[in-house]
Chains A and B, each alone.
Chain A
Amino acid sequence: MLLAAVILSVASFREAKASEAEGAPLTIVNAQFVSVNDPSLRTLLRDLGDTIAWRHGERDVLITTANHTVVTFTVGDRRYEIGPFGAQARYAPYTKNGIPYLPLKELLATLWVAPVQSGRDLVLEPQLASIDVRSTTTGTTLVARAAVPLRPRIVQRSSTRVVYQFSGIGSAVGGTRTLNGGGIRDFVIRTTGTLATAQTFLTVDLLAGATLSQPGSDDGRDFALFVRAKSVAAVSATPQSGATQVPREAQVTGVDVIPTQESFTVAIVVSGDAAYTWHRLAAPDNRFWIDVDGAHLAVPSRDDRWNGHVTGVRVDQDTPSNVRVALSLAQPLLITVVPSGSGLRIIVANDVALNPSRSGYGSIGSIVSSAQESPPPTPAPEPTELLTPVPLGAQQFAPREYIPTNPRLIVIDPGHGGNDPGTIYRGVEEKTLTLDMALRLRSILLAHGWQVRMTRTTDTAVDPDAQTDHDELQARDDVANENGARLFIAIHVNAYGGSSIPKGTTSYYSKSDDVPLARDVEDAIAREAGTQDDGIVKSRLYVTLHALMPAVLVETAFLTNQSDFAKLESPAWRQRIAQAMADGIETYARDFPAPTPSPGG
């Protein structure tokens, strides 16, 4: 497909130099694709606080947004990832002269920037990307988001109206929305000004007696407004008028809530194709909601209260074409959205999320997301009466078999941390690399339906009170042992002070139960990550020896070897080895199902 070249300019990002930016550095790009080396793209990313990582000859291009979401595009693959979530672009990225070209529309959408035609130019304008409203009888929470700091300014204020102005951004959302409840009569979003001087206004008309507060946000890219209604009026949720509802392609035919000790899962059953978006509010609000667009709720709406980490689940037809499932949370918990064969699953782990992403999207149905590629691990089969009875004597003398109380839980242990940097070589610290690879592995495993616990998620010791190295290592095993994990994987970076020659990946193990896991992980890394295969090695390493379950300590590569160092420094390679570790774990899990308790005991 040949497309007309258009001009991409970066306008309105630099308010101080708006007039200069208007005629600023221009680059010819293809209307559908943009080169990763495109100067305008680089400028755009820099202005947004995003970074792009790509190494010559590699297929993955990684963009880390200012809110810590990693967006991964892969050459030759229409699927791309936004954090742990999959999506599909209209066109796959390709390379020309070894340089990747990314699909422009999808790239810009992930960056919350809109291409706006201006004469012959295509001008990029940061957008008010979403506005979310949650209204109850007691009040309304209104949250707007953008890729740039919003810097709201109140330009009009009375007892019945407040008008906010956001300078330098346009809006992807607009129009009037009438609430007549929760303290708000309606609100209007409109954009004025030229491209270089765009102004977006949010006008909120309040009901009598309403009061409002505007809490701060983490980084200024969220704007939140809480409106408290005067009194708790009896405004019941208006039931949807089924008679006038036009039947739609997608229907939400069921919402099942599955609370367990380890997690809280909401399974949304969807027939037909639909896109979805999700959002979450920062602590202390912590609410999470997912909108299934173009869907009709075919079951009654509900508003359940729960005791525990998840305190409420609400399902309703938010707009005529939009089903909303909203969760109230006591803490900012780790949430995974996984498209499944029957729809979507929202998995709320008991872990508190670190810098959680605030929003994401994907689709269900004919558009296949990467998360669907690997089926979620099948639950361990129920013990059946067909099991051969084991003679009592044999049972007594056989080595005691480990039975995970949570066969879907994987514990990841990023080596070192806090005061213990591990190896330091050319200013690069092992503890930083191990945490990075571990977080990437976690994202992949979560997206595949596993539960994951990390021994640490920040640069810290696992047991800050540890008196000895031993205590610290035992604390890492405790995370797995006390939670009945299926398996334990420690991630390290190798080094050798005596020579720069040693290189490659070694998977260390200690117990006979560890061997198949070490073998599968090592093999996957050798196959996918391009390091030298140094094989699996038995050793008396503390963490593998004292983990009750199958365990492996992966020495990913050598900081002290030049070619390995380059790999370790590459975010794309770290993503590759994380993917390889995940593949190895899943091969192992498939071939070695978790043992289940025998009928007798």
Chain B
Amino acid sequence: MRYAAVQNVAGPPSGRHVIRFPPGTRVDSASIDGSTADIDLSNDVTQQSGTFGENGEFKALVYTLTAIPGIDAVQITIAGRRLQTLPHGNLELDTPLRRSDW
């Protein structure tokens, strides 16, 4: 699960036109609590510039991790803190994200 999260946040090789997390974003911790993956992202993720990226990044991460059997939700924390919304963004993060959010 940690591998999937890290690969997803890192994205495919450069040169491909895909939606990426802001440069420098790291997965600082990844663990599983029941059926929820707890993912802690570095503060770089707050360097957002628009709903397009924000929506696409988190959707991709949630779809990737919930494709793993036994995981149906993803709780995001940023620099160790659970936030109600993504700083500088519009996404709500205070409860686990699910595929049904998209």
Contacts and interface: CB of A to CB of B under 8 A. Distances in A.
A145 interface: no
Contacts of A537: 55
B85 A502 contact: no
A499 B17 contact: yes
Interface string B58-83: 01000000000000000000000001
B50 A558 contact: yes
B51 A470 contact: no
Interface residues of B, number: 26
B34 to A, nearest CB: 21
Contacts of A495: 49-50, 52-53
Contact of A470 (B17, B55, B85): B85
A541 B88 contact: no
Given A470-B84, A498-B19, A555 B51 contact: yes
Contact of A539 (B47, B85, B91, B94): B91
Contacts of A13: none
Contacts of A558: 50, 52
Contacts of B49: 423, 495-497, 560
B50 A469 contact: no
Contacts of A496: 19, 49-50, 52-53
A553 interface: yes
A163 interface: no
A26 B91 CA distance: 58
B7 interface: no
A557 to B, nearest CB: 11
A553 B90 contact: yes
Interface in A525-560: 537-543, 545-546, 553, 555, 558-560
A502 B90 contact: no
A564 to B, nearest CB: 11
Q: Which of A494, A508, A539 has the most chain B CB atoms closer than 10 A to its own CB?
A: A539
B102 interface: yes
Looking at chain A's contact residues, is the secondary structure mostly helix, strand, loop, or mixed? mixed
B88 A420 contact: yes
Looking at chain B's contact residues, is the secondary structure mostly helix, strand, loop, or mixed? loop
A506 interface: yes
A501 B17 contact: yes
Interface residues of A, number: 32
A542 B91 CA distance: 6
Contact of B90 (A499, A506, A543): A543
A469 B88 contact: yes
B33 interface: no
Contacts of A559: 50
Q: Which of A473, A540, A553 has the most chain B CB atoms closer than 10 A to its own CB?
A: A540
Interface in A444-487: 468-470, 473
Contact of A545 (B53, B86, B87, B92): B92
Nearest to A501: B17
A519 interface: no
B17 A539 contact: no
B91 A468 contact: no
A469 B91 contact: no
B97 interface: yes
A296 interface: no
A494 B52 contact: yes
B53 to A, nearest CB: 5
A542 B101 CA distance: 12
A492 interface: yes
B84 A468 contact: yes
A541 B89 CA distance: 9
B53 A498 contact: yes
Contacts of B91: 539-542
Contact of B51 (A469, A473, A538, A539): A539
Contacts of A498: 19-20, 53
A542 B50 contact: no
Contact of B55 (A508, A545, A560): A508
A325 to B, nearest CB: 45
Given A508-B51, A539-B101, A473 B90 contact: yes
A539 B55 contact: yes
Contacts of B102: 538-540
Contacts of A560: 49-50
B73 to A, nearest CB: 12
A539 B94 CA distance: 14
13 contacts: A469-B88, A493-B50, A495-B49, A495-B50, A495-B52, A496-B49, A497-B50, A501-B17, A502-B52, A538-B102, A539-B90, A539-B91, A555-B52
Interface of A: 420, 423, 468-470, 473, 492-499, 501-502, 506, 508, 537-543, 545-546, 553, 555, 558-560
The 8 closest A-B CB pairs, nearest first, are: A470-B84, A495-B50, A540-B101, A495-B49, A541-B90, A497-B49, A542-B92, A470-B85
Interface of B: 17, 19-20, 22, 47, 49-53, 55, 59, 83-92, 94, 97, 101-102
Given A497-B50, A539-B91, A541-B91, 13 more contacts: A423-B49, A468-B84, A469-B84, A469-B87, A469-B88, A470-B94, A473-B85, A492-B51, A497-B47, A538-B101, A540-B91, A543-B90, A553-B51
